Amino acid sequence: MKKHIQNLKGISILLVLLAIGCKSNSQQAATVDLPAKVINETEISWKSNFEEALAEAKNRGELLFVECYSPTCPYCLALEPFFKEPEVAKKYNSNFINFKLNVTEAEQVKYLNERNIWLPSFPMFLYFDGDGNLVHQSSADPNIASINGNADAALNPETRASSFAKRFKDGERSVEFLANYASFARVIKDTTAGINAANALYEVYPKDKLSSEESWELTKKAVDDLDNGFAQHWFNHVDEAAAFEKEEGHADNQNNILGGILQRTLYGPKGKEFSIDELKKVRLYMARIKASQYADNTLWEFETKANIREGNLPQALAVGNKMINTFKGNGSAYVYITRVFTDNFPDNSYVKSAKSWLVSALPTITQDNVRAEYYYELARLNQKDGETEKAKLNAKTAVDLATKIGTKLEKFNTLYESIK
pLDDT for the residue numbered 35: 82
Task: Tell me the pLDDT band of 393, cut-offs 50, 70 and 90.
Answer: very high
According to DSSP H, which parts of 73-116 are helical? Answer: 74-79, 86-95, 106-114
C-alpha pair distances (Å), 130 with each of 38, 57, 97, 106, 382: 20, 5, 10, 23, 57
Residue 241 has pLDDT above 80, yes or no: yes
End-to-end CA separation in angstroms for the chain = 70
- Lowest-pLDDT range, 3-7, 90-94, 330-334, 359-363? 3-7
What's the confidence (pLDDT) of residue 302?
98
User: What DSSP string describes 139-188?
Assistant: ---SSHHHHHHHHHHHH-TTTSGGGHHHHHHTT---HHHHHHHHHHHHHT
Instruction: Give the model confidence (pLDDT) of 284-305 as tens digits.
Output: 999 999 999 999 999 999 999 9
56 neighbors 97 (Cβ within 8 angstroms):
yes
Answer yes or no: are the C-beta atoms of 378 and 358 closer than 8 Å. Answer: yes
Question: How many whole angstroms separate alpha carbon 162 and alpha carbon 201?
Answer: 19
